[in-house]
Amino acid sequence: MTKPTDTNRSGHAGLDTLLDPLTNKGTAFSEEERDALDLWGLLPPHVETLDAQLERAKAMIAEVDKPIEKYLRLRDLQDDNEVLFYSLAADDLPGTLPLIYTPTVGEGCVEFSRHYQHPRGLFLTIPEQDKIPEILAHPRFDDIEVIVVSDGERILGLGDQGANGMGIPIGKLSLYTACGGIDPAKTLPILLDTGTDNKDRRENPTYVGWRHERVRGDDYDAFLDAFVDAVKGRWDHVLLQFEDFAQANALRLLNRYRDKLCTFNDDVQGTAAITAGLLMAVAKSAGQKLGEQTFVIFGAGSAGCGIGRMLVSLMVDEGMDEAEAYAKFYAIDSSGLLMDDGDLKDFQKPFARSADDLKDWDMSAEEASLLDVVKNAEATVLIGTSGQSGSFTEDVIKAMAQHTDRPIVMPLSNPTANSEAAPQDVLDWTDGKALVATGSPFDPVCWDGKEYTVDQANNAYIFPGVGLGAIAARAAKVTDAMFVAAARKLAEIEDTNTDGPGHFIPPREKLREVAQAIAEAVARQAVSDGVAQVDFADDGELSKRIEERMWKPHYEPSQGGE
């Protein structure tokens, strides 16, 4: 949600109109609008088109070199003129996405307090818990359809950033609009400020958040309950997306609230869907089934195990027994390979191996290393969700290449500095055999005298379409089957090429088309699951309704103008 005003958007006049990024057109206000809104003297006299403004904005971004500098200029533009900001994003989605979200948003969060200027979204703190219903009740929030909320504890691979984590909900909602066509006036970023254990943040004089150690336990849960109850009581239907919560809370909170309202956790479910969709596309291109692969997940947290659970579900759909499907996985966390005699979280237990599974293994030490697991399990797919930079070493990748013609390597950790491997290295170590997809954007790779773009398994391929479909269907909840439908639809979109590192999903410039296709699949699944509160006569009506909902950046005539 952008800077609030106490009057209807169409009733703004004068300076208020210029200060609201949802209504500001800057130099594009016509002479008639300047008369009607009393804008003369507040703007330069020349009246420009949106296209002319766009060219100047592009030049403004291009004149600085560092990604963080570009990010800050884009954020300033967003806080000044949302139509122009999204016109710039639409003009070059592949170039803009890494600046408004990963990887640059990570540095943006680190620097958030130092550059804080304009109000955007809501900061809700535990001392204000009783005021949450009153805060949400303001008429400025009447039309909200999508909320992204974070508590700032696990910002990408950067850890606890406290209130600085607000950059994540802001950035995520920017992608909802840029890729999914959600009207920016109907979005609301929220940061639940429960304190921070990051001492450097608390003691920094520029820090804008609540200077208190992070609250946990019953008080934390009571605060989250109060927030969710307030959201549920405020809107007849709203999509609530949880983002960048710590591993200990991510899946727990998802399970706590998923049946109460339309909600999901993108780190758990969106990451699983993009990974599964890409792997289905790879298998499809090779004429194989997922069950023919052997998977090693390095980083067996809520995201890594979420990927595994979705892949198991898909293998069961292929006809495989569930226990047989789980046996295809070897999952490793910070303590090593998950073993059934270890201290495991509930979501990890299905992936645990027994001592008998390892009795014939040739290992370098008593505890199995990643290299030991890859060698002995004869892994064909290596998935990284660890946040451990460089953990996919040359020895590990070469071991994969010894027993599979096309090893599939997916270093998914964000930001780029936390990636488990660089795609160029993976290609070099496998003599060009590896199929590679990353979580963060990388420069093109070179092999055999040719340059190739590397697939980015970016959640932006999934969550905008899931959100759009859930809103269109007014889904009472987001089911697992809706995410499976999203993954399947992504895999169905024909855009594959096995040259170089492989190319299995559409290029990023087609993200809006992908979102529309996924939204239709998700809405149909919501109807099939019995959670949709509206129905569609046929696919034609559904497609029309989805397309009509997709906002495009354009200037609407202001009241009193042409």
DSSP codes joined into one string, 223-234: HHHHHHHHHHHH
Q: Which residues pair with residue 125 across a beta bridge?
A: 193
CA 505 – CA 93 distance, rounded (Å): 15
**What mean pLDDT comes out for the span 415-433?**
95
Give the other-Cβ count within 10 Å of 120's Cβ: 20
For the stretch 447-459, pLDDT in tens is 999 999 999 999 9
For the stretch 111-146, pLDDT in tens is 999 999 999 999 999 999 999 999 999 999 999 999
pLDDT given for residue 7 in this prediction: 40
Residues of each domain in the chain carrying CATH 3.40.50.10380: 49-261
- Model confidence at 562: pLDDT above 70: no
**pTM to 2 decimals?**
0.92
pLDDT given for residue 5 in this prediction: 40
User: With contact defined as beta carbons under 8 Å apart, do 340 and 366 qualify?
Assistant: no
Residues of each domain in the chain carrying CATH 3.40.50.720: 269-459
For the stretch 340-370, pLDDT in tens is 998 999 999 999 999 999 999 999 888 899 9
For the stretch 32-71, pLDDT in tens is 999 999 999 999 999 999 999 999 999 999 999 999 999 9
**What mean pLDDT comes out for the span 421-448?**
95
pLDDT given for residue 14 in this prediction: 80
Give the other-Cβ count within 10 Å of 49's Cβ: 11
**What mean pLDDT comes out for the span 18-26?**
95
- Model confidence at 85: pLDDT above 80: yes
Q: Output the DSSP codes for 175-194.
A: HHHHHH---GGGEEEEEEE-
pLDDT given for residue 273 in this prediction: 97
For the stretch 198-253, pLDDT in tens is 999 999 999 999 999 999 999 999 999 999 999 999 999 999 999 999 988 999 99
| CATH superfamily entry for domain 269-459 | NAD(P)-binding Rossmann-like Domain (3.40.50.720)
pLDDT given for residue 13 in this prediction: 64
Whose structure tokens read 């488990």? 420
Going by pLDDT thresholds of 50, 70 and 90, the confidence category of residue 560 is low
For the stretch 289-329, pLDDT in tens is 999 999 999 999 999 999 999 999 999 999 999 999 999 99
Going by pLDDT thresholds of 50, 70 and 90, the confidence category of residue 157 is confident
pLDDT given for residue 220 in this prediction: 98
Question: Residue length, the chain?
Answer: 562
Q: Output the DSSP codes for 20-50.
A: -TTT--GGG--HHHHHHHT-TTTS-S----H
Return the active site residues. Answer: 101, 172
For the stretch 479-533, pLDDT in tens is 999 999 999 999 998 677 888 899 899 999 999 999 999 999 999 999 999 999 9
Q: Report the relative pairing of strands 295-298 and 239-242 from DSSP bridges.
A: unpaired
- Model confidence at 79: pLDDT above 70: yes
DSSP letter at 453?
P
Going by pLDDT thresholds of 50, 70 and 90, the confidence category of residue 285 is confident
Going by pLDDT thresholds of 50, 70 and 90, the confidence category of residue 538 is confident
**C-alpha pair distances (Å), 4 with each of 20, 21, 482:** 7, 10, 34
User: With contact defined as beta carbons under 8 Å apart, do 53 and 83 qualify?
Assistant: no
CATH number of the 49-261 domain: 3.40.50.10380
Structure tokens at 360: 């014939």
pLDDT given for residue 559 in this prediction: 65
Q: Which residues pair with residue 147 across a beta bridge?
A: 188, 240
Q: Which of 177, 201, 185 is nearest to 109 (CA)?
A: 201
